[in-house]
């Protein structure tokens, strides 16, 4: 593998400078076209280090898969520095050194870890590897399959050491996309640019670029470096075509998705469908790993085939069974074991209860202390990201103790994990099926568990909620836990300016305004006089100053409140805090605002927008686009809540029927569709509330396909410049045109 020579030279850069003379080898370098004529002349004048730096820069720019590095080592160092060449060969022939390089590449590329009992699906691995090897420089391979079909695990199996080092020259990068909106895609694009850029200042500037300019920079970065031409970019869990367009930067791309139509298949792309169930041989392979026995041994166990059939090959069920098998390994290896038959009896009960029986059986095998820890997950909302910092506070344990507990749970497929390079921390997720089981099983203990969580956080901040640790969770879900802990008196924190400021800094204004809406009753109970007007005043203040407070770390909420009108509750609270402060300097504004309620909401939409109207309230918008997609956009969070996909051409009219929570849309494709708006979420939506949210299980909120009200052939009328008038009448019984 030629690319190993590149790593060899990079690892031994200092030794090369000590042992190799740039002047002595300049003729050889010129003959092999590793330096040009001007550089050949300059090597007589520059220092040895400067000459070698020029060489290494040339190698990095013109090399393709390590060939130039190999020439340098084999044709120059071997001939002129034989003793040093032998030293380099030791590393090159060291399998541990090669394996460590492979692991480092995966780690740098943000690859997730393989599951505890990973199984290679050889037929599909070979198929995908063959497709990738034949892929043109700008080609794409799309892996499509249902949730839980093993697409992500399959990609991990495809990325073998030989594949990564030979086919992609060590240039492989993994990006979990999910349902990222434009803002999140720009952030992911910026992070990827940081990976490829050597210029720190240039990288920092790129974070503030537009998506198009950043794409141009990335294309240039790839084109100017021959080694980048072999790069593979993996986009995991892609939900919409816009994500692929965003990362279409001139390199090969491997995409995993649940949607066949996420990309238009052409001569440079290939669609590979992934079966959503294990084959019998794959189930045997997984069980063999759990039993630490050969596959042939497992295949001779008659009950295994029956278990596979009863589980219907479902990967989730098979994985849970695998953890059970690992737990009862010694018992199951007994030739006269009844445990296999007990498993089958459990599965032969009502199929709807199979997963419950499996989960229960799996959890019961946990150590009692670990089982109690796992039960605490019942208090978390669905799809939320849980960092190890949250668990450290909740359980009163250190990082290593938490990691050991989570390792045991992950080995039993009860949670999944992801290491966030941004947060330098492990992020955990729990499948919705497992979470529902925990919530039902421990429903009588939920209140006490919420109380313990609140108490743990109070202890961590000395009862000052404004000093809570920003762990990308508690500020987002403090109201959720206070209500379920029945700790109503603690809702007084929503009248604490310092807490309001800290929450805005951590989450932005969307989350706290949603709290005021969801928990208004509990909040208003904490102030006896004019509570409604006070809450409305705080909301108005947040809308006016919140964006600046969130964007700029140094802006003080107290100082902002001192700019408010003197008669306001906000101003009086701020004045009280300012007088009590011994460590902060605040300025009293001589001419504060006279009108506290003045606030203009402004927001920008892309040029792709063709029609905009309010949905059911003034902070949600329905946006029609040129492609026919309709977006439900939250202007406070500045994020897309969901998308309505059905039209194939530009949307030119939307009418909302508020009483039925429905809307009509009309498009240039000639169709009129009736849609149902999604129900209002009672709590925070994790993908909106948490920054850098990871969608572990690839399950997005899917909306029912629209009802086709009427297909109208009006394009001809439009082309004839005649005026077409739509009269839309919507009643409770049915809408009509």
Residues 6+ apart with CB under 8 A from 430: 377, 380, 386, 414, 415, 416, 438
Residues 6+ apart with CB under 8 A from 677: 615, 616, 632, 656, 661, 662, 663
Q: Residue 596's pLDDT is what?
A: 55
pTM for the full predicted model? 0.51
Q: Residue 329's pLDDT is what?
A: 84
Alpha-carbon distance 493 to 472, whole Å?
Answer: 19
Q: Which residue has the higher pLDDT, 515 or 349?
A: 515
- What is the band of 225 on the pLDDT scale with cuts at 50, 70, 90? low
Long-range contacts at 315-319 (CB < 8 A, ≥ 24 apart): 315/148, 315/149, 315/150, 315/276, 315/277, 315/278, 316/148, 316/355, 316/413, 316/431, 316/433, 317/354, 317/355, 317/358, 318/278, 318/283, 318/286, 319/115, 319/117, 319/286, 319/413
Q: Which one is the CATH code of 105-273: 2.30.31.70, 3.40.50.300, 3.40.50.12780, 3.20.20.10?
A: 3.40.50.300
Angle between helix 82-92 and helix 3-11 axes, rounded to 10 deg: 110
Residues 6+ apart with CB under 8 A from 254: 128, 132, 140, 141, 143, 155, 158, 232, 233, 234, 235
Residue 465, CB-side half-sphere exposure with 13 Å CA sphere:
22
- Range with the largest mean pLDDT of 293-307, 333-347, 462-476, 709-723: 462-476
User: For residue 236, which of 737, 627, 696 has the smallest C-alpha distance?
Assistant: 696
Question: What kind and span of H or E run contains 392?
Answer: helix 388-395
Q: Residue 112's pLDDT is what?
A: 84
Q: Residue 322's pLDDT is what?
A: 83
Residues 6+ apart with CB under 8 A from 207: 190, 194
Give CA torsion, residues 478, 479, 483, 489, to 10 deg.
Answer: 90
Q: Residue 714's pLDDT is what?
A: 39
Residue 542 near residue 513 (C-beta atoms within 8 A): yes
Share of the chain above pLDDT 90, in %: 25
- What is the band of 502 on the pLDDT scale with cuts at 50, 70, 90? very high
The DSSP secondary structure of 382-412, one letter per residue, reads TT--EEHHHHHHHHT--HHHHHHHHHHHHHT
**Maximum Cα–Cα distance across the chain:** 90
Q: Residue 79's pLDDT is what?
A: 87
Residue 84 near residue 74 (C-beta atoms within 8 A): no
Enumerate the domain spans of the chain: 3-93, 105-273, 280-365, 381-580, 609-736
Angle between helix 432-441 and helix 354-364 axes, rounded to 10 deg: 70
- What is the band of 380 on the pLDDT scale with cuts at 50, 70, 90? very high
Reply yes or no on whether the pLDDT at 205 is more than 60: no
Residue 416 near residue 429 (C-beta atoms within 8 A): yes
The DSSP secondary structure of 297-344, one letter per residue, reads HHHT-HHHHHHHHHTTT-HHHHHHHHHHHHHTHHHHTSTT-SHHHHHH
pLDDT tens-digit profile of 285-296? 999 988 989 999
- What is the band of 728 on the pLDDT scale with cuts at 50, 70, 90? very low
Reply yes or no on whether the pLDDT at 544 is more than 90: no
Q: Residue 276's pLDDT is what?
A: 60
Phi and psi torsions of 139, nearest 5°: -80, 170
- What is the band of 414 on the pLDDT scale with cuts at 50, 70, 90? confident
| Average confidence (pLDDT) over 427-434 | 81
Residue with tokens 């905009």: 612
The DSSP secondary structure of 161-206, one letter per residue, reads HHIIIIISTT-EEEEEEET--HHHHHHHHHHHHHHH---HHHHHHH
Reply yes or no on whether the pLDDT at 547 is more than 60: yes
Residue 104: count of CB within 10 angstroms of its CB: 12
Alpha-carbon distance 307 to 343, whole Å?
Answer: 8
Residue 737, CB-side half-sphere exposure with 13 Å CA sphere:
16
Q: Which residue has the higher pLDDT, 737 or 618?
A: 618
Residues 6+ apart with CB under 8 A from 461: 467, 468, 469
Reply yes or no on whether the pLDDT at 3 is more than 80: yes
Q: Which residue has the higher pLDDT, 528 or 715?
A: 528
Residue 481: count of CB within 10 angstroms of its CB: 20
Alpha-carbon distance 54 to 540, whole Å?
Answer: 60
- Range with the largest mean pLDDT of 169-173, 317-321, 360-364, 547-551: 169-173
Long-range contacts at 330-337 (CB < 8 A, ≥ 24 apart): 332/291, 333/291, 333/293
Fill in the DSSP letter of residue 724.
-
Share of the chain above pLDDT 70, in %: 83
User: For residue 313, which of 280, 347, 361 has the smallest C-alpha distance?
Assistant: 280
Residue with tokens 């992801």: 418
- The structural architecture, per CATH, of the domain 381-580 is Alpha Horseshoe (1.25)
- Domain 609-736: top CATH class: mainly beta
What is the number of residues in the chain?
Answer: 737
Range with the poorest average pLDDT among 68-82, 266-280, 334-348, 381-395:
334-348
pLDDT tens-digit profile of 80-113? 888 888 988 888 888 899 999 999 899 888 888 8
Alpha-carbon distance 642 to 418, whole Å?
Answer: 25
Range with the poorest average pLDDT among 124-133, 578-587, 703-712, 725-734:
725-734
Cβ neighbourhood burial of 716 (10 Å; 0-12, 13-18, 19+): exposed
Q: Residue 551's pLDDT is what?
A: 84
Reply yes or no on whether the pLDDT at 710 is more than 80: no
pLDDT tens-digit profile of 607-637? 789 999 988 877 789 999 998 999 998 877 7
The β-bridge partners of 175 are: 235
Residue 173 near residue 105 (C-beta atoms within 8 A): no
- What is the band of 694 on the pLDDT scale with cuts at 50, 70, 90? low
Reply yes or no on whether the pLDDT at 188 is more than 70: yes
Alpha-carbon distance 140 to 190, whole Å?
Answer: 21
For 479, the token pair is 């109201």
pLDDT tens-digit profile of 230-252? 899 999 988 888 999 999 998 99
| Average confidence (pLDDT) over 482-506 | 93
Residue with tokens 């927008």: 609
Q: Residue 191's pLDDT is what?
A: 85
- What is the band of 201 on the pLDDT scale with cuts at 50, 70, 90? very low
User: For residue 355, which of 274, 410, 413 has the smallest C-alpha distance?
Assistant: 413
Long-range contacts at 59-64 (CB < 8 A, ≥ 24 apart): 59/6, 59/9, 59/34, 60/225, 60/227, 61/224, 61/225, 61/226, 62/226, 63/6, 63/226, 63/227, 64/169, 64/226, 64/227, 64/229, 64/230
Reply yes or no on whether the pLDDT at 121 is more than 70: yes
| Average confidence (pLDDT) over 405-415 | 83
Fill in the DSSP letter of residue 82.
H
On the question of a common fold for 105-273 and 381-580, the answer reads no
Alpha-carbon distance 323 to 413, whole Å?
Answer: 7
Reply yes or no on whether the pLDDT at 148 is more than 90: no
Residue 583, CB-side half-sphere exposure with 13 Å CA sphere:
0
Reply yes or no on whether the pLDDT at 488 is more than 50: yes
**110 SS3 class:** coil
Q: Residue 64's pLDDT is what?
A: 64
Alpha-carbon distance 125 to 282, whole Å?
Answer: 13
For 624, the token pair is 């029609």
Residues 6+ apart with CB under 8 A from 489: 526
405-419 burial: b if 16+ Cβ within 10 Å, else e? bbebbbbbbbbbbbe
Q: Residue 252's pLDDT is what?
A: 94
| Average confidence (pLDDT) over 17-34 | 87
């Amino acid at each position: 593998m030629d690319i190993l020579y590149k790593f060899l030279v990079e690892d031994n850069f200092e030794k090369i400078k000590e042992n190799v003379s740039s002047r002595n080898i300049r003729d050889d370098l010129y003959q092999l076209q590793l330096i040009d004529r001007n550089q050949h002349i300059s090597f007589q004048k520059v220092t040895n280090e400067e000459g070698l730096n020029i060489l290494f820069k040339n190698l990095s720019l013109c090399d393709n898969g390590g060939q130039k590095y190999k020439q340098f080592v084999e044709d120059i160092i071997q001939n002129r520095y034989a003793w040093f060449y032998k030293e380099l060969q030791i590393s090159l022939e060291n399998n541990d050194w090669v394996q460590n390089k492979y692991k480092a590449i995966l780690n740098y590329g943000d690859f997730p870890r393989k599951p505890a009992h990973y199984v290679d699906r050889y037929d599909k691995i070979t198929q995908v590897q063959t497709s990738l090897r034949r892929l043109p420089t700008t080609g794409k391979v799309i892996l499509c399959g249902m949730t839980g079909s093993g697409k992500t695990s399959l990609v991990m199996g495809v990325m073998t050491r030989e594949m990564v080092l030979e086919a992609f020259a060590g240039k492989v990068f993994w990006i979990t996309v999910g349902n990222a909106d434009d803002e999140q895609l720009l952030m992911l694009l910026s992070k990827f640019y940081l990976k490829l850029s050597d210029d720190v200042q240039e990288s920092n500037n790129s974070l503030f670029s537009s998506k198009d300019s950043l794409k141009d920079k990335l294309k240039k970065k790839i084109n100017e470096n021959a080694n980048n031409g072999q790069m593979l970019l993996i986009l995991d869990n892609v939900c919409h075509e816009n994500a692929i367009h965003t990362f279409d930067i001139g390199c090969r791309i491997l995409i995993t998705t649940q949607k066949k139509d996420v990309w238009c298949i052409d001569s440079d792309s290939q669609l590979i469908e992934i079966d959503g169930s294990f084959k019998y041989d794959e189930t045997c392979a997984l069980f063999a790993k759990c039993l630490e026995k050969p596959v042939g041994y497992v295949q001779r166990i008659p009950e295994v085939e029956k278990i596979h059939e009863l589980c219907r090959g479902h990967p989730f069920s098979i994985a849970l069974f695998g953890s059970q098998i690992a737990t009862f390994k010694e018992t199951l290896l007994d030739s006269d074991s009844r445990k296999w038959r007990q498993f089958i009896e459990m599965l032969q009960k009502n199929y709807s209860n199979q997963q419950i029986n499996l989960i229960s059986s799996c959890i019961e095998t946990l150590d009692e202390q670990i089982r109690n820890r796992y039960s605490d997950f019942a208090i978390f909302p669905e799809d939320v990201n849980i960092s190890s910092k949250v668990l450290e506070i909740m359980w009163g344990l250190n990082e290593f103790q938490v990691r050991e507990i989570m390792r045991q749970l992950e080995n039993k497929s009860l949670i999944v994990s992801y290491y966030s390079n941004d947060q330098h921390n492990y992020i955990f997720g729990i499948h919705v099926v497992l979470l529902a089981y925990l919530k039902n099983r421990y429903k009588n203990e939920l209140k006490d568990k919420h109380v313990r969580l609140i108490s743990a956080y109070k202890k961590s901040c000395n009862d000052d909620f404004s000093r809570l640790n920003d762990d990308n969770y508690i500020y987002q879900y403090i109201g959720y836990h206070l209500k379920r802990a029945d700790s109503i008196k603690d809702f007084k924190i929503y009248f604490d300016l310092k807490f309001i400021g800290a929450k805005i800094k951590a989450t932005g204004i969307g989350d706290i305004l949603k709290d005021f809406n969801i928990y208004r009753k509990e909040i208003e109970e904490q102030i006896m006089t004019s509570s409604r007007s006070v809450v409305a005043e705080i909301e108005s203040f947040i809308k006016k100053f919140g964006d600046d407070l969130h964007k700029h770390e140094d802006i003080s909420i107290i100082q902002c409140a001192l700019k408010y009108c003197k008669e306001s509750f906000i101003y009086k609270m701020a004045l009280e805090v300012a007088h009590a402060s011994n460590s902060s300097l605040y300025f009293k504004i001589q001419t504060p605002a006279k009108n506290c309620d003045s606030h203009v909401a402004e927001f920008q939409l892309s040029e792709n927008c063709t029609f905009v109207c309010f949905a059911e309230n003034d902070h949600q918008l329905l946006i029609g686009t040129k492609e026919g997609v309709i977006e439900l956009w939250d202007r406070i969070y500045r994020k897309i809540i969901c998308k309505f996909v059905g039209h194939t051409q530009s949307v030119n009219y939307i009418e909302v029927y508020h009483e039925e929570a429905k809307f009509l849309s009309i498009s240039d494709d000639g169709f009129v569709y009736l849609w149902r708006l999604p129900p209002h979420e009672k709590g925070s939506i994790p993908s909106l509330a948490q920054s850098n949210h990871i969608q572990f299980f690839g399950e997005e909120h899917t909306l029912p396909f629209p009802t086709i009200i009427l297909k109208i052939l009006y394009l001809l009328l439009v082309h004839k410049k005649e005026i077409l008038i739509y009269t839309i009448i919507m009643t409770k019984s049915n809408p009509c045109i």
